[in-house]
Amino acid sequence: MTDRAVLVTGSSRGIGRAVVEAFAASGDRVAIHHRDSGDAAEKLRAGLPGSGHVVVRADLTDPDAVRAMVDRAAELLGGLDVLVNNAGTYGDRDVPHPIFGTSYDEWQQRWRQVLETNLTGAGNVIWCAAQHLRERGGRIVNVSSRGAFRGEPDQPAYGASKAGLNALGQSLAVALAPYGITVATVAPGFVATDMTTEHLRGERGAAIRAQSPFDRVARPEEIAAAVHWLASPEAEWASGTIVDLNGASYLRS
């Protein structure tokens, strides 16, 4: 069992929720971050094992709110040992923005929306968290996507944002190592969450599952297990790595 202070962004549901549950199960104290799902975050907190878990809120597109949220989490937890940068947006999955068929105004809006959360927002969270982590070292784990490698032709801002997150993580793995801080990344493929339920139904769901030779998609707990290990004391030498978690649905050299 461990007793670390852990901040997980975007953690009231989906992958983030599973990550929170994994850390709490191992004895850590967790700050559950949300933007506008306070009821779900509080319900999650109340059901976690152990004590000392807290809920914090911020819109990650607001730099001042990000800083206040991270500082508040560190205050409530008595410091910070682990950051899991999970929060992100696909934009509107049902309204793609391919380069042809999208107006210039719509194109600008989608890029701002996605990059401000997935890349700039994530970078701001890391900067703020690093000010606390440098006191005693720690772990940062970013949640990226298979889309950073295979491309997202209908949602290019999403693919670009995750590719940028990968590069950011590798840059900071080098920059933060002298301070005892590791930075690693997981790149999941399709994951079964409440947000993807509609996409997994019917013929579309069958096609999505068939992308993997296992003929299924990931469970959130599988992603959480990898995140939890990368944040462990044993995983220091994994700093700078990007771990593919896509069930062999996309293989890169």
Question: Which CATH number does 5-245 carry?
Answer: 3.40.50.720
> What residue ranges do the domains of the chain occupy?
5-245
pLDDT digit string (tens) for 159-175? 999 999 999 999 999 99
pLDDT digit string (tens) for 14-50? 999 999 999 999 999 999 999 999 999 999 999 999 9
How far is Cα 8 from Cα 86, in angstroms, rounded to an integer?
7
Average model confidence (pLDDT) across the chain: 96
pLDDT at 63 exceeding the cut of 70? yes
pTM value > 0.85: yes
Per-residue model confidence (pLDDT) at position 189: 97
Residues 6+ apart with CB under 8 A from 246: 146, 187, 188, 189, 190, 212, 218
Q: How far is CA 142 from the centre of its chain?
A: 5
Catalytic residues: 158
Structure tokens given for 161? 């944002």
Per-residue model confidence (pLDDT) at position 93: 64
φ, ψ at 187 (rounded to 5°): -125, 85
Token pair 């670009």: residue: 160
Structure tokens given for 244? 């593919």
Q: Report which residue type is found at 56.
A: V
Q: Would you call 10 helix, strand, or coil by DSSP?
A: coil
Rounded mean pLDDT, 127-155: 96
**With bands split at pLDDT 50, 70 and 90, how would you rate the model's confidence at 199?**
confident
**With bands split at pLDDT 50, 70 and 90, how would you rate the model's confidence at 94?**
low
